[in-house]
């Protein structure tokens, strides 16, 4: 009759022997520095055909802006030719751009948005 051995369980750090037999190698723990992810700004571009009210609606719906903030951004887009709608990580910025483009296409407007890295 064979006896069963208990399953192998690695020793937890507090159970490992800390005796120094002269052959030990001690590794120093280094704090890891994790850089924040690169950020991207979503920029809407002006055109002569998209109604201002549609731009305000898009800013409220996809960028969670209140009516006043959306109006200010829309005016900046209208006067300067472009306006920053928000700053996000790369994937979220790409999703926001896609949402804007799809909404504009469904409404029949040529509104354009792009994401640009922030330096």
**Residue 78: CB partners within 8 Å, gap ≥ 6?**
46, 52
pLDDT at residue 22, as a whole number: 67
SS3 assignment, position 55: helix
Mean pLDDT of 4-14: 57
Distance between CA atoms of residues 116 and 94, nearest Å:
10
Sheet holding 82-89, edge to edge: 82-89, 39-45, 112-117
Report the predicted TM-score, pTM, of the whole model to 2 decimal places.
0.73
Q: Which secondary-structure segment (H or E) carries 85?
A: strand 82-89
Q: How confident is the model at residue 27 (pLDDT cuts 50, 70, 90)?
A: confident
Q: What pLDDT score does 6 carry?
A: 61
């Amino acid at each position: 009759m064979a006896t069963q051995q208990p399953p192998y369980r690695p020793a937890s750090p507090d159970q490992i022997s800390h005796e120094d037999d002269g052959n030990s190698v001690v590794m120093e723990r280094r704090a890891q520095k994790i850089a924040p992810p690169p950020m991207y700004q979503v920029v809407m571009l002006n055109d002569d055909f998209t109604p201002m009210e549609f731009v305000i609606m898009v800013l409220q719906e996809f960028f969670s802006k209140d009516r006043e903030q959306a109006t200010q951004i829309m005016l900046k887009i209208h006067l300067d030719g472009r306006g920053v709608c928000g700053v996000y990580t790369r994937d979220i910025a790409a999703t926001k751009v896609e949402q804007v483009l799809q909404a504009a296409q469904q409404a029949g407007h040529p509104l354009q948005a792009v994401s640009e890295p922030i330096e």
